[in-house]
Amino acid sequence: MLYLAFFIIYTFIFVFGICIGSFLNVAVYRLPNHISIAYGRSFCPKCHKQIPNRDLIPIFSYLHLKGLCRNCQAPISPRYPLVEAFTGLLAVGLFWYYGFNLTALVIFSVACILTIIALIDIDTMTIPNNLLIALSIPAVLIYWFFPEISLLARIIGFFAVSLPMFLLNFIKADAMGGGDIKLMAVSGFMLGWQNILLAMFIALLASGLAIVYLLAAKQKTTQSHIAFGPYLCLGIITALVYGKPIIELYFAFFNLY
C-alpha cells in the first residue's frame, strides 16, 4: 500500500510538472513576441487558429495528433512534448530529492524560469528583463531556505562573476551579453560566491564541449556566436541543487580542508 501511495503521489507530481511544462512552452513563444501569457487562448503559430481544449493535453495531444496541427496540418515542433516531459521529470526529481515541502517548490520555480530563459536565448540570443525580475523573487526567498549561505556571501556572489563579465566587455566589445551578466548577478545573490563560481565553471566546461562538437560537425565556424545563456542556466541549477556536495568533494580530493 505504501508503494502504491508513493506511485500515486509521484504520478500526480509528474502530471503537475507536464502541465507547468505546457505553460513554459507558451511563455517561450509569447514573451519574445510581446504577447500576453496571462490572456488569450492557445493558437497554432502557423494558421493562428485557436487550439481546442482536447488538443491541449500535454504530451498526449502531440502523440495523438502525430505532431501535426489539427487545422492546417503544419508540423508541431517536438520541442513542445520534450519540454513538457522534461518539466514533469524535473518536478518528480526535485520533490524526491527535497521531499514534499516548500523548498522543492521554490527550487522547481527557479528551474522553470531558467528553462524559459535558456530556450528563449536559444531562439533569439536574448534574455528578457522581465524573466530576470521573475527570477529575483525565488532568488530572495531562497535566502530563508538556505541560511547556511550568509548574506555577505550572497552579496559577494552578486558581483563575483557578473562584474568580471561586465569588465570583459571593455576588453572585447560584446564579449558578454547584457542578459548573461544580469542573469549571473541575480543568480550570484541566490547561490553565494562559491556556488556561482561553480556555476560559471560548469557553464564554461559545457559550452566548451558543445563548441568543440559543433566545430567538429562543421555546424559552426570559429566566427560563429552561440547562446551562452543555456549553459549558464545548466550551471546555475546544478550548483543550486548539488553545489555543496560538489564543492566538498573538490576540497576533499585536493585535501584542502
pLDDT digit string, tens, across residues 177-201 = 889 999 999 999 999 999 999 999 9
Mean pLDDT of 214-238: 83
Mean pLDDT of 206-227: 79
- Angle of helix 151-160 relative to helix 178-191, nearest 10 degrees? 160
**Per-residue CA distances from 45 to 74, 123, 188, 203, 239 (Å):** 9, 15, 36, 32, 36
Which pLDDT value is given to residue 224? 65
pLDDT above 90: residue 70: no
Which pLDDT value is given to residue 239? 96
pTM for the model stands at 0.93
Closest CA to 194 of 234, 164, 254, 153: 153
pLDDT above 70: residue 221: no
Which tens digit of pLDDT belongs to each residue from 83-104? 999 999 999 999 999 998 999 9
**Per-residue CA distances from 135 to 34, 66, 115, 186, 254 (Å):** 19, 35, 11, 7, 34
If you compute the radius of gyration of the chain from its CA atoms, what whole number of angstroms results?
Answer: 20
Q: Confidence band (pLDDT; 50, 70, 90) for 136?
A: very high
Mean pLDDT of 190-219: 91
Which pLDDT value is given to residue 97? 94
Which tens digit of pLDDT belongs to each residue from 26-65? 999 999 998 888 787 888 888 888 888 888 899 999 999 8
Q: What share of the chain is helix, strand, coil (3-state, %, to 5)?
A: 70, 0, 30
Round the average pLDDT of the chain to a whole number and report it.
90
Instruction: Name every residue whose Cβ is closer than 8 Å to that of residue 60 and which is 6 or more positions away in sequence.
Output: none
pLDDT above 60: residue 222: no
